[in-house]
Chain A
Amino acid sequence: MALVFHRAQLAVPVACMLILGCVLPLAVLVVFSVFEVDLDAFTLVPAFSGQSWVQMFTNPVFAFLIGKAVVSGAGTAMLAGFIGYPIAVSMTRLPVLWKGVGSIVLLTPLYTGEIVRIYAWRVVLGSEGLVNAALKWFGVIDEPLKFLLFSPFTTHLVLLYNNLPFMVLAIWISAELIDKRLIEAARDLGARPIDAFFKVILPLTTPGLAVGVFTVFALAAGDMMTPSLLGGTSGATPMAMIDNLFGTAFDWPLASALSLSLLVILFAFATGFVTILLRFDGARAVFRRGAL
C-alpha cells in the first residue's frame, strides 16, 4: 500500500508536542505525589508513600482553598453571564461594517499583560485613586472607601474584567448563528422584545453560554496573580499554595497532590455546569439542527 500524505496526519506531530509538553508533566504529578522528600539533601526520593495524600485529605486548609477557588470561579462566571448577555446581544445589532471594529475593541484589553491590568486597577481603586477622588468631588463620601482595594470585591471585579471578553465572544458568536427570521416571527406574532429574548434568543444561545461559563470558570478559578496582588488578606489561592510548596517549602509531593486535586475538582465542576446548561431545550434544538 502506498503511503499517501493527507493533512489530517498533521495532527500527529501536534498531538505529540502537546502530550509531551502539557499532558506528560501533568501525568507525572501522579508519580511525584507518592514520592518522598529528603530534606537534608534537598532531593526527591522515589518511593511509594501515601503521606502527601493523607495530608491533602486531613488538613482542612487544602479543601478550603480549593472550595474558595470553585466559589470564586463560579461567581465570576455567573456575573460574566449576566453582564455578557446584554453586551453580546447588542453586538449582534451592530451594522456589519462595525462588527469587525467591535471585535477588536472587545479583544484589545485581553492583550494587555496581567501585570498591566492589575497595576491599572490599583491606580483606579486606590484610596487616592479615580473612584475615591470622584466620589469625594461629588461630596458622596468624606473618607476614602477602603474596601475598594485589597478585598474580595477587588479580586472579583478584576476577575470579571479579565474574563468578560471571553463570555461576550462566546455568546455573541452563538447569537449571530440564530436565524434572524425566528426573532422577526416572534415579534410579528406580538412578542415584546423582552419576550423574544427569553423565548428565542436565550434558549438558542445556551450552547454559547455553556462555552463561556466553562472558559470563564476555568480561567477565573485558576487565576493566581489577581487575588494575590489585589485581594489583600483574602487573596490566598490553591495556586499560591502550590507555588509556596514547590518553591519555598520544597514539598513537591504535596504540591503535586494539591495540583491534581485542584485539576480534578475544577474539571468536575466545569463539566457539571456545562451539562446542566446543555439540558435546556434550546441547546438540544441547536444541536439537532446541527448549527453548532
Chain B
Amino acid sequence: MSRLVILTLGLAVCFFYLPIVVLGIFSFNAASTMAFPLSGFTLSWYADLFGNEAFLGGFVTSFLIAQPVGLLGALIGLMAALAVTSPRMRLRAAFAILVLVPFLVPKTVLSIAQAMLMSWVGLGRGATALILAQTLVVIPFTTTILAAVMVRLDPRLEEAARDLGATPWQSFRRVLLPQLSVALSAAYSIGVILSLADLTISMFLAGRTQPLSLIVASEFRRELKPDLNAMQVAVLVLTALIVALTEINRRRRLRGRLAHVRDDL
C-alpha cells in the first residue's frame, strides 16, 4: 500500500468520525456548556441519564418498536431477495425499482403522504403505523444485503437437493437457509439500527407514541445540555455493539465453514 492510499483513508476516517469523537469527549467534560477548553473529567452526565425518566421511557419505546421492524424487515427482505435472484423472475427490473422506491423518495414526502391517506380513510397513527412505515423504509436495505449474498451462492447445491428428491420447502430449509443465516442476522441488525436512528417517519406517524429520537429532537430545539451528549454516546455504543456482534457472528461462521472445508480435505 502506498503512502497516498493510507493518507486518503486516514483523512476519510477522520472526517467520518470527527463529530462522533467530539460528542464522546464532551460527554465526559465537567462543564454545563459545550465549549473549549475542556474543564475536567466527570461521569455525572451519565449518572443524570439514568435519573431521566423521559429518556429512559423513550429508549424503551424505541427499542420495542425496533424489534418488529428488524424481524419484519429481514423476513420481507428475504422474500424480495429470493424473488429478485430467482432465474425465473419476470419483470425483474420493475420489481427492483419498486423495492427501491422507499429509499429514493424523500422520507418527509412519503411519510406525509402516508399520514394524509391514513387520516383520510380513518386509520389512527401510532405504534403500529410507525412500525409498518419503518419496515417499508428498511426493505431496500435488507433486500440488497440478502440478494448480494444469494447471487454468490452456488446454485448447484440447491439443484442437487432437488435432484435428490427434496421438495422446494425442504431444499430451502435445509440448503439455502443455513447459508443465509449470517446475512439474515445482518438484515435484522440493519432494521433495528435504522429504526432506532429514525426521526422523520416518527415525526409524522408516531401519533402519541414518543420514541427517543422525538424526545431528543424536542430537547434539541430548546437547548443543548451535556446529558444529551451522554445519551447520544449511549445510543452510539449500543449501535456499535449490534454492528460488532453481527460482524463477530459472521467471522465465527466463516471460520467454522473454513474449518469444515479443511477437515474434508
**B216: which A residues are within 8 A, CB to CB?**
115, 119
**B15: which A residues are within 8 A, CB to CB?**
161, 164
Task: Please determine whether B115 and A246 come into contact, CB atoms closer than 8 angstroms.
Answer: yes
Measured CB to CB, the nearest residue on chain B to A5 is: B168
Q: Which of B2, B86, B108, B114 contacts A25 (CB 8 A)?
A: B114
Task: Please determine whether A25 and B110 come into contact, CB atoms closer than 8 angstroms.
Answer: yes
Of residues 67 to 126 in A, which have CB atoms within 8 Å of B's CB atoms? 86-87, 90-91, 93-95, 100, 102, 104-106, 108-109, 111-124, 126
Task: Please determine whether B113 and A25 come into contact, CB atoms closer than 8 angstroms.
Answer: yes
For A8, A122, A214, the residue with the greatest tally of chain B CB atoms inside 10 Å of its CB is A8
**B80: which A residues are within 8 A, CB to CB?**
10-11, 14
The answer for the CA separation of A112 and B238 in the assembled complex, in Å, is: 10
Question: When each residue 118-144 of chain A gets 1 if its CB lies under 8 Å from chain B and 0 otherwise, what string results?
Answer: 111111101011100110000000000
Measured CB to CB, the nearest residue on chain A to B12 is: A87
Decide yes or no whether B70 CB sits under 8 A from chain A: no
**B199: which A residues are within 8 A, CB to CB?**
113-115, 225
Task: Please determine whether B8 and A13 come into contact, CB atoms closer than 8 angstroms.
Answer: no
Of residues 198 to 228 in A, which have CB atoms within 8 Å of B's CB atoms? 214-215, 218, 221-225
Task: Please determine whether B20 and A263 come into contact, CB atoms closer than 8 angstroms.
Answer: no
**B113: which A residues are within 8 A, CB to CB?**
25-26, 28-29, 256, 259
Measured CB to CB, the nearest residue on chain B to A130 is: B22
Q: How many A-B Cβ pairs are below 8 Å?
A: 230
The answer for the CA separation of A121 and B21 in the assembled complex, in Å, is: 11
For A21, A23, A214, the residue with the greatest tally of chain B CB atoms inside 10 Å of its CB is A21
* Distance from A158 Cβ to chain B, minimum over Cβ atoms (Å): 9
Tally of chain A residues near chain B (CB < 8 A): 82
| Given A7-B168, A128-B33, CB of A94 within 8 Å of CB of B76 | no
If over half of A's interface residues share one DSSP class (helix, strand or loop), that class is named, otherwise mixed; here it is helix
* Distance from B223 Cβ to chain A, minimum over Cβ atoms (Å): 11
Decide yes or no whether B235 CB sits under 8 A from chain A: yes
**B228: which A residues are within 8 A, CB to CB?**
119
Decide yes or no whether A292 CB sits under 8 A from chain B: no
Task: Please determine whether B34 and A113 come into contact, CB atoms closer than 8 angstroms.
Answer: no
The answer for the CA separation of A161 and B15 in the assembled complex, in Å, is: 8
Task: Please determine whether B213 and A113 come into contact, CB atoms closer than 8 angstroms.
Answer: yes
Of B44-52, B98-106, B257-265, which stretch is located at the interface? B98-106
Decide yes or no whether A150 CB sits under 8 A from chain B: no
The answer for the CA separation of A252 and B120 in the assembled complex, in Å, is: 11
**B-side interface size class:** 35 or more
Decide yes or no whether B184 CB sits under 8 A from chain A: no
Decide yes or no whether B23 CB sits under 8 A from chain A: yes
Task: Please determine whether B106 and A239 come into contact, CB atoms closer than 8 angstroms.
Answer: yes
**B34: which A residues are within 8 A, CB to CB?**
123, 126, 128-129
Task: Please determine whether A28 and B117 come into contact, CB atoms closer than 8 angstroms.
Answer: yes
| Given A113-B197, A133-B35, CB of A246 within 8 Å of CB of B5 | no
* Distance from A93 Cβ to chain B, minimum over Cβ atoms (Å): 5
For A120, A133, A164, A218, the residue with the greatest tally of chain B CB atoms inside 10 Å of its CB is A120
The answer for the CA separation of A108 and B236 in the assembled complex, in Å, is: 10
Measured CB to CB, the nearest residue on chain B to A35 is: B120
Decide yes or no whether A277 CB sits under 8 A from chain B: no
Q: Which of A93, A113, A133, A165 contacts B196 (CB 8 A)?
A: A113
Decide yes or no whether A9 CB sits under 8 A from chain B: yes
Measured CB to CB, the nearest residue on chain B to A95 is: B1
**B95: which A residues are within 8 A, CB to CB?**
11, 15
The answer for the CA separation of A134 and B4 in the assembled complex, in Å, is: 26
Of residues 151 to 179 in A, which have CB atoms within 8 Å of B's CB atoms? 161, 164-165, 168
**B99: which A residues are within 8 A, CB to CB?**
14, 18
**B26: which A residues are within 8 A, CB to CB?**
123
The answer for the CA separation of A222 and B89 in the assembled complex, in Å, is: 32
7 contacting pairs across A/B (C-beta < 8 A): A7-B83, A17-B76, A87-B12, A126-B34, A129-B36, A225-B200, A266-B106
- Since A17-B136, A130-B36 are in contact, a sample of 15 more A-B pairs with Cβ atoms closer than 8 Å, ordered by chain A residue number, is A8-B86, A11-B95, A17-B76, A21-B114, A24-B117, A44-B120, A86-B8, A115-B220, A124-B18, A128-B36, A133-B36, A218-B105, A218-B106, A224-B108, A263-B105
B-side residues, CB < 8 A to A, are 1-2, 4-5, 8-9, 12-13, 15-20, 22-23, 26, 33-37, 76, 79-80, 82-84, 86, 88-90, 95, 98-99, 101-102, 104-110, 112-117, 120, 132-133, 136, 139, 168, 172, 193-194, 196-200, 213, 216-217, 220-221, 224, 228-229, 232, 235-236, 239-240, 243, 247
A-side residues, CB < 8 A to B, are 5-11, 13-15, 17-19, 21-26, 28-29, 32, 44, 86-87, 90-91, 93-95, 100, 102, 104-106, 108-109, 111-124, 126, 128-130, 133-134, 161, 164-165, 168, 214-215, 218, 221-225, 229, 239, 242-243, 246, 252, 255-256, 259, 262-263, 266, 270
